[in-house]
Amino acid sequence: MPTRLNPRKLPLSKWTAIHPQNREKHFMVTRIIEPDDPALPIVEIELEAVYSKRRQIMPWQKLTDETCWRQGWH
């Protein structure tokens, strides 16, 4: 069963990468990227690696891919 997420509730949520790279396993959503037009849906989030503090912007829907991400820190 796919994970159902509300993008507005993602800030400060914790995620574990199933296949860590560069010792980056645990991540936190630091912010949602609001679209220029408030009538449009949220598309992207900013995700920060806990270990390295590296930040990346990605589509929030990628977090629903259970082959790549698990919600919470495991």
Q: Judge if pTM exceeds 0.75.
A: yes
- pLDDT score, position 13: 97
β-bridge mates for residue 71, sequence order: 15
- pLDDT score, position 2: 53
- pLDDT surpassing 90 at residue 1: no
- The mean pLDDT of the chain is 93
Exposure string for 26-41, b = 16+ CB within 10 A, e = fewer: bbbbeebeeeeeeeee
Average pLDDT rounded to a whole number, residues 6-22: 95
Q: How confident is the model at residue 4 (pLDDT cuts 50, 70, 90)?
A: confident
